[in-house]
Each structure stands twice: as structure tokens, then as C-alpha cells.
Amino acid sequence: MSWVDIGIDSRKSAQLLRENHPRSCVSRAYYAAFSVINERLFAHASPPPKYETHAHAKLPDLIEKHLFRKNSKLRNSLRTAIKRLYNARLVADYRSSRTVDRSVALGALRDAKAIFAMIGVNDA
């Protein structure tokens, strides 16, 4: 299974979780986007030794360094979307005092969809 396949599976799972499990929806939406970006980065940079993916926190820097070098608008949009999605995931997974409701889940799904489009992954 490729990381794109894992990303597609995670995005579909996120969509199913939206209504009744918004925290899990946000987590799956982030992981979907993380997976497809990682797949794209493999052509340019290897993950750290003993890991199959790049570090979550390093993704924006890796995007800046390796992806869409001739399209700064697209590169910046991708970096902004993954940062926003990563922050939403941190709240969903680690901040029990913060509310993660349907609107937050929908925002995460929108970001994941946009990232898939920017990367060129069609999961329809």
C-alpha cells in the first residue's frame, strides 16, 4: 500500500467521522494530508533513519525547500494549509479542554481536500 493509498483511506474515514466523532475526523483529515505530502516529498528527501515518514513538525520546512519551487503561491498555500491542519490535530488529540465540534471537523476536511488538490491526488 502506498502513502497515497493510506491518505485516501484516511480522508474517506475522516468524512465518515465528521458528524459523530469530530475529534477523530480532524485526526484522520490531518493524517490523510500528511500521508500524501510525504509521498510527494520522497522524491526529494528521505525520512530520518528508521522512519517511514518525515517528521510532522518539519513538513512545512520540507515543503518550502522541495515542493513547487517555481510556484511560490501554491507552495505557500500548501504550507499554510498543512500548518493549520496540524494545529487542529494537536488540539483534537491533546487538548481535552478545547471544543472540537462539527465546524472544526469541516474546516479540517476542507483543508485536507485542498491539500489533495494541490498535490494532485484525486480520490473521488
Rounded mean pLDDT, 98-117: 95
pTM of the model as a whole: 0.93
The enclosing domain of 75 has a CATH number of 1.20.120.330
The total number of structural domains that make up the chain: 1
Asked whether residue 102 carries a pLDDT value surpassing 60, the answer given is yes
Q: How many angstroms separate the CA atoms of 121 and 114, rounded? A: 10
User: Which pLDDT belongs to residue 30?
Assistant: 98
74-83 b/e (C-beta count within 10 Å ≥ 16 → b): ebeebbebbe
- Please write the tens of the pLDDT for every residue from 24-43: 999 999 999 999 999 999 99
Residue count of the chain, please give it.
124
Burial class (CB in 10 A: 0-12, 13-18, 19+), 60: middle
The whole domain housing 65 covers 3-119
